[in-house]
Amino acid sequence: MPQATISLHNKEFAPYLTEAELLAAVRRVATELSRDYAGQTPLLIAVLNGSFMFASDLLKELTIDCEISFIRVASYAGTSSTGAVKEILGLQDSVEGRHVVILEDIVDTGHTMKMLLEQIGAQRPASLEVASFLMKPECLQHPLTIKYQGIVIPNKFVVGYGLDYDGLGRNYRDLYQAV
């Protein structure tokens, strides 16, 4: 059971989705990926920091061989997207000729994902898809196809399960919504 309303910095957050609901979505995405990449060894690229819990739980549920790599980008200040995407830790692995799946915690404006798809796509992977744990379609500012979607949520700021508010809240097992 999620704890009652939590306070992070100057904001209050109420329980939104439970750990059980989150893990059910992870299992569904893992089933889809395992089916679509059967007989292949995709390279999963987890976008840090937010996707670390999603990536960890997803890998435990996959029934296929895969490799994982990590990149780090930043586009948020407080509770809003800055509109500018800053690469902090770049991709070290070659993706040419590989089946690649980008693992993202949340796609809202789409700025980060647009930039990542362009950069990784330019390296000529055999295929390139996105698995986003959370989707905010109301916020999308770029035409993106997100093939693997965990949970579609409304345009509310959320924390927990890897997502933060100015560095706090990533450690909660449940998802909390700003009130």
**Lowest-confidence pick of 7-11, 23-27, 81-85:** 81-85
In a domain, 6, yes or no: no
DSSP state of 137: G
Check whether 88 has a pLDDT greater than 50: no
pTM of the model: 0.89
- Residue 19: DSSP 8-state: H
Does residue 68 fall inside a structural domain? yes
Structure tokens at 155: 């345009």
- What's the rounded Cα separation, in Å, for the pair 143 and 113? 10
Asked, for residue 78, whether it belongs to a domain, the answer is yes
Specify the CATH number for the domain of residue 109: 3.40.50.2020
For residue 3, being part of any structural domain is answered with: no
Lowest mean pLDDT among 45-49, 78-82, 132-136: 78-82
Measured over the CA atoms of residue 21, residue 58, residue 51 and residue 135, the dihedral's sign is: negative
Residue 137: give the domain boundaries: 15-178
Alpha-carbon distances of 15 from 35, 52, 134, rounded to whole Å: 33, 21, 16
DSSP character at residue 116: H
- In a domain, residue 102? The reply is yes
User: How far lies 88's CA from each of 48, 53, 57, 69, 71, in Å?
Assistant: 10, 19, 24, 14, 8
Q: State how many domains the chain has.
A: 1
Give yes or no: 108 in active site: yes
Contacts of residue 126, Cβ cutoff 8 Å, sequence gap at least 6: 97, 98, 99, 100
pLDDT of residue 84: 60
- The two three-digit tokens of residue 68, written as one number: 């994982």
- In this structure, is residue 172 part of a structural domain? yes
Q: What is the per-residue pLDDT across 98-141, written as a single tens digit (0 to 9) for each?
A: 999 999 999 998 988 998 999 899 999 999 999 999 999 998 99
Longest distance between any two alpha carbons in the chain, whole Å: 49
**Catalytic member of 57, 105, 108, 174:** 108
2 belongs to a structural domain: no
What are the Cα distances from residue 59, in Å, to 1, 15, 102? 25, 26, 13
> Which structure tokens are listed for 55?
């990536």
* Six token digits for residue 121: 């796509």
5 lies in a domain?
A: no
